[in-house]
Amino acid sequence: MSDQPSFRPPEGDRPRTPVRSAPSKVVFSGLVKSYPTRSGDVLALDGIDLDIAENEFVTIVGTSGCGKSTLLSIAAGLQQPTAGELLVDGEPVTGPGRDRGVVLQSYTLYPWLTAQKNVEFALRDEPGLSVRQRAEVAREHLELVGLADFAGKYPAELSGGMRQRVAIARSLSYRPSLLLMDEPFGALDALTRRVMQELLTDIWEKHRLTVVFITHDVEEAVFISDRVVIMSNRPGTIKRIVPVDLPRPREHAMIAEARFRELYGEVLEQIHEESLGHVRAAG
């Protein structure tokens, strides 16, 4: 596992827009999810059709309760859809799998284990890895997220950003090809968030991952993605998809540029329309 090929394409080789003819990594078709409750069924998702290409970075935004986390947890195999289908690499998802890494907003680290041991723990069932190799792989991934010097620290001794880096290292340690992230930077301050966004895009480019990322932050969505998927209010459907044609690698200075502001405005307007509907429905 240590002799990973260098996946980074030559400078300037990365397309400005995703190659839509690339094979689909993830296909949601006619996905419906309803939750039975005492007061009747809650329809969370109502017919999601979405193709995500290999090595694409897709962000999902939408008003609170529109079904974003439900969609992600179905992709993670933690929940089953009520109807419709979800394929990853052409295979139906029937449960959690090592081909998919999941990072959530809350730091899901074991407080009694060091950063190093938290990552090693994720590798405990990895076939063919000796104890020494497991330690090496964990170390490599802590290095990848810039935490080599903090390997011996416990979660309580780390900042929020550092804990989330450990969670990312842990999810990447078993080399998933699909990373599912549910507001991973939601609890971080603005500056740490920026650092984490750059770190994540850097890892994504180097490792040719496919990423599905949920956020409430429109600026983050535009900065980080190839496409921003805007969901309607519950029951969640896809309202609009905005392709982000900004060049990569991206730098935060771009946020002030005209094209960025244009895309930001387009996404914000869509969400705003849904928020107004949300408020009207509530009132």
Ligand X SMILES: Nc1ncnc2c1ncn2[C@@H]1O[C@H](COP(=O)(O)OP(=O)(O)OP(=O)(O)O)[C@@H](O)[C@H]1O
Interacting residue ranges for ligand X, rule: CB under 6 A: 35, 37, 42, 44, 62, 64-70, 234
Report, in Å, the least distance between residue 37 CB and ligand X. 5
- C-beta of 47 vs 65, nearer to ligand X: 65
Contact criterion met (CB below 8 Å) for 212 and 178: yes
Contact criterion met (CB below 8 Å) for 100 and 76: yes
Q: Which residue has the tokens 């078993």?
A: 174
Residue among 110, 162, 172, 111 nearest 140 (CA): 172
Report, in Å, the least distance between residue 96 CB and ligand X. 17
Element (H, E) at 60: strand 57-61
Report, in Å, the least distance between residue 54 CB and ligand X. 25
- C-beta of 60 vs 166, nearer to ligand X: 60
Q: What SS3 class is residue 140? A: helix
* Residues whose CB falls within 8 Å of the CB of residue 74, separated by 6 or more in sequence, listed in order: 31, 33, 45, 80, 81, 86, 93
Report, in Å, the least distance between residue 261 CB and ligand X. 25
Using alpha carbons, list the distances in angstroms from residue 103 to 29, 114, 249, 251. Answer: 24, 18, 23, 23
Report, in Å, the least distance between residue 53 CB and ligand X. 23
| Continuous H helices in the chain | 68-75, 115-122, 131-144, 160-173, 190-207, 218-224, 258-282
- C-beta of 86 vs 115, nearer to ligand X: 86
Token pair listed for 204: 């994504």
- C-beta of 18 vs 235, nearer to ligand X: 235
**DSSP E strands: which ranges in 208-261?**
210-214, 227-231, 238-243
- C-beta of 67 vs 101, nearer to ligand X: 67
Report, in Å, the least distance between residue 205 CB and ligand X. 27
Report, in Å, the least distance between residue 220 CB and ligand X. 14
- C-beta of 67 vs 161, nearer to ligand X: 67
- C-beta of 77 vs 155, nearer to ligand X: 77
Element (H, E) at 41: strand 40-53
Spatial separation of the C-alpha atoms in residues 110 and 163, rounded to whole Å: 11
